[in-house]
Structure 1
Amino acid sequence: MFGLIDGNAFYCSVERVFNPALHGEPVAVLSSNDGCAIARSAECKALGVKMGQPIHEVSPEVRRRLKILSANFALYGDMSGRVVSVLRDLFPSVEVYSIDESFVDMTRVPDRLEAGREARSRVLQWTGIPTCVGIGPTKTLAKLANKLAKSTPQGVVQALPESSEVAAFPVEDVWGVGRKWASRLGAEGILTAGDLVEADPETLRARYGVVLARTQRELQGVVCAELEETEPQRKQIVVSRSFGREVASQEDLAQAVATFAVRACEKLRARSLQAGGVWVWLHTNPFKTGAKQYHPSKAMQLIHPSSDTREVLAVARSLVRSMYRQGYAYKKAGVGLLDLSHGDVHQADLFSGMDPRSAKLMAVMDQANRRFGRGSMSLASAARRPGQSPKWAMRQESLSPAYTTRWDQLLKVR
């Protein structure tokens, strides 16, 4: 048996933990550069704000009623970790599915509904985050139960294959179906999860493939996806951002790419991986009418797999120089680390040896940044000048303080 614990409007709930004045108010958290709504409180949804809707498309009357906040991902990630730590105390196995969702193992739990209520109560008491709990014999049924739980006062629901709630559940809301498939299934008379369960499996597999066939089996109570306590090894790591405003100089563009490369390498080392190649891309603004468009992309292999930020930066900056063209206004850039492998696997090169000091140097940088904050120690090409924000910095006009990750922004109680 699986349980799915999901934070309700997670980003909004985190903001409310540290700012109680937001309770009962319509809260909208915006994406990078304050573009689109990526989290909405129930009050915000009631005003008609859609998920992913650009904030400028919301009517001025509604915007005046909203409490609009910039996304504070560092804060949300830290609070997510605290929720997960509570769940690890309660359940033998936990799979962190996303920043606001975790699957837990309830196989040996005698009273699953009571366990769900206890998890919900403890997470709320210890972190302030309201949650809902879905329970089922498969991950798909647990996900379905979680959606049902959101509309109940107790917030905990168990879904079994034979239950009437499963039979009547809209097929477009089933995990793994999606809007495109839901439209095709609806044309064939498959409108509910019950209809999907009863559909001919061979026909379903032939028309939609193995993914939907597995979804059907999971709705029938057959486990097709086990709990994954460890993150599968990634094939690539990508760091990409839209700029707060367009940049035109090669220096500004190179600094942005260098900053993204540094962050990508930090993620790489945190997973004990190394990269065999580097990919860089640049974009002008495709939504700017009349502007000249340019969207270059290049990749280059490293001489040998590495997690050394210096080596990745040298390649990334070289790629920027080769792609840069004057006369264009760049709006977005990104860095990808490719051909990932475990850090203990080394392929020697006949003409180029590995720097024996590399691992120790990177370890010192990572330790300093963990202790004193990201960016405390960096390389000159990616370093920001004290007291100055780079031209490409994201627009975050309503960013809340880093209440849990920076000493100078801790909540003060008077």
Structure 2
Amino acid sequence: MGVPVFQVRDIIDNNNVYVFSTNFALYGDMSSRVMSLLSDISPEIEIYSIDEAFMNFTGVKDSVHLASRMKSVVTKSTGIPISIGIAATKTLSKVANYFAKKQTANGVYALTEQQQIVQALKELPVSKLWGVGSRHLRMLNSYGINKAYDFIQLNEEWVLEKMTIMGLRMQRELKGDPCFGIDAYPSRKKNIRTSRSFGVKVKSLQTIQESIIAHAARCAEKLRIENSCARYVSVILRTNPFSKSQDYYYGYKSI
């Protein structure tokens, strides 16, 4: 989890840590390139987030070979290393991906044999399960549930009561019962946002205006990609919420 730089300034200074600004526009462009390459190989793909996707390998005879080919193509074309987890359900594939990063040299891990799955779940901390946030983690730990294997031993009615239907589906997926399909055609976004923090204090109105124009253009580009239209446009400006030398300001205007 990220923290403001000023909160760890001593650690940065004492350990010669280099700090770089984020570049979300570049992240988005690189993500599009990676997802396009994956789509060329596996037409049925769900782009889950900027750096994650699910693909349907049903009918593939050698899934490990195909995954290795995908990894090679992406790395050669973009220079970005990726990891791929293979399993019968989405949740198990997330588990497989965890071990692909931790225990393999090539970044590909297939979790398909029952004995192998059981061993993986016995090793995996419940905190690493897809869908287990801080609140559910505290609750599970309070009942002595520390590993993923402990979680799948729980009574389904108890899981439904404590973690709703989503928790129950996650548990069933860990047992090999598919509950989440591939959403190859996700619904359009309800809102699009482009925001940046200035690296230094800004006192020039022109600089702020130029930044707003650039952000608006980027939002419009995202809107066109979605083939959507906007009903409202909002501009938000705020000062540094962590500053001790000036009052905090937050303002917005919608049209």
- TM-score of the alignment, normalized to the shorter chain, above 0.5: yes
- Aligned counterpart in structure 2 of residue 131 of structure 1, from 82, 91, 94: 82
Q: Does 1:52 align with 2:7?
A: no
| SS state at 2:235 partner | strand
Deviations 1:357-381 (A, max 9, x none): xxxxxxxxxxxxxxxxxxxxxxxxx
Label 1:72 to 1:292 Cα distance change in 2 as closer, same or farther (>3 A): closer
Q: CA deviation at 1:287?
A: 0.7
Matches within 5 A, 1:334-413: none
Asked whether the 8 Å contact 1:95–1:228 carries over to 2, the reply is: yes
AA aligned to 2:148 is A
| SS state at 1:276 partner | coil
Q: Does 1:192 align with 2:142?
A: no
Q: What is aligned with 1:179? A: 134
Gaps of 5+ in 1: 1-50, 300-314, 316-414
Q: Which structure has more RCO (C-alpha within 8 Å, separation ≥ 6)?
A: 1
Q: What is aligned with 2:47? A: 96
Q: Percent identity, aligned pairs only? A: 37
- Aligned counterpart in structure 2 of residue 283 of structure 1, from 223, 232, 238: 238
Q: What is aligned with 1:145? A: 96
Choose between structure 1 and 2: higher helix proportion.
2
Q: Does 1:260 align with 2:215?
A: yes
Task: Write the distance in 1 (CA, Å) between the matches of 2:231 and 2:31.
Answer: 31
Give the TM-score, by structure 1 length.
0.54
AA aligned to 1:141 is L
Asked whether the 8 Å contact 1:131–1:155 carries over to 2, the reply is: yes
Asked whether the 8 Å contact 1:281–1:295 carries over to 2, the reply is: yes
- Aligned counterpart in structure 2 of residue 63 of structure 1, from 4, 13, 16: 16
RMSD of aligned residue pairs (Cα, Å): 2.6
Q: What is aligned with 1:87? A: 38
Q: CA deviation at 1:69?
A: 4.4
AA aligned to 1:56 is R
Deviations 1:53-101 (A, max 9, x none): 536343434226x5x5444444444433333333233223222223332
- Aligned counterpart in structure 2 of residue 206 of structure 1, from 161, 165, 174: 161
Q: Does 1:158 align with 2:113?
A: no
Task: Write the distance in 1 (CA, Å) between the matches of 2:21 and 2:246.
Answer: 28
Q: CA deviation at 1:180?
A: 2.8
Choose between structure 1 and 2: higher strand proportion.
1
Asked whether the 8 Å contact 1:204–1:213 carries over to 2, the reply is: yes
| SS state at 1:246 partner | coil
Asked whether the 8 Å contact 1:88–1:94 carries over to 2, the reply is: yes
- Aligned counterpart in structure 2 of residue 107 of structure 1, from 37, 58, 68: 58
Task: Write the distance in 1 (CA, Å) between the matches of 2:248 and 2:77.
Answer: 50
Q: CA deviation at 1:240?
A: 1.9
Asked whether the 8 Å contact 1:160–1:221 carries over to 2, the reply is: no
AA aligned to 1:227 is I
Aligned residue pair count? 248
Matches within 5 A, 1:215-254: 215-248=170-203, 252-254=207-209
Asked whether the 8 Å contact 1:149–1:156 carries over to 2, the reply is: yes
AA aligned to 1:205 is L
Task: Write the distance in 2 (CA, Å) between the matches of 1:252 and 1:71.
Answer: 19
AA aligned to 2:242 is F
Q: CA deviation at 1:284?
A: 2.0
Gaps of 5+ in 2: none
| SS state at 1:221 partner | coil
Bigger radius of gyration: 1
Q: What is aligned with 2:250? A: 295
Q: CA deviation at 1:247?
A: 3.5
Task: Write the distance in 1 (CA, Å) between the matches of 2:22 and 2:239.
Answer: 23
Deviations 1:144-164 (A, max 9, x none): 100111122242212248422
| SS state at 2:198 partner | strand
Q: CA deviation at 1:199?
A: 1.2
